[in-house]
Amino acid sequence: METRSPWDIENEAGLTEGNIFQGELTMDQLIFNRPVPGYAQYRAPIAGMYMCGSSTHPGGGVMGAPGANAAREILRDLRIKGFDPREEHDL
């Protein structure tokens, strides 16, 4: 068995506060504050940039769910802008 403290994780892997999920797995962080308040719907503060990974809902340890959720938001945004996925596009 190998045990690492939050100090070890921060110093060895650069993860602050020793949390491999980039945030606490508390109710508020699991639903509406991941990764930070105001950016919980996968959209970054830069237009056209999206976030997915263990820092986004539903958090780390849920394989593929943050990426699938982000992809749904991207498709939703593209449809709003008139993008038709059935047509050929050079992206």
Residue ranges per domain, the chain? Answer: 24-80
User: Cα separations (Å) of 26 from 21, 32, 41, 46, 49?
Assistant: 11, 11, 17, 27, 26
Q: Kindly report, residue by residue over 49-89, the tens digit of the pLDDT.
A: 998 888 888 877 767 888 888 999 998 888 887 777 666 65
CA 62 to the chain's CA centroid: 11
Would you say the pTM of this structure is higher than 0.85?
no
Distance CA 42, CA 73 (A): 7
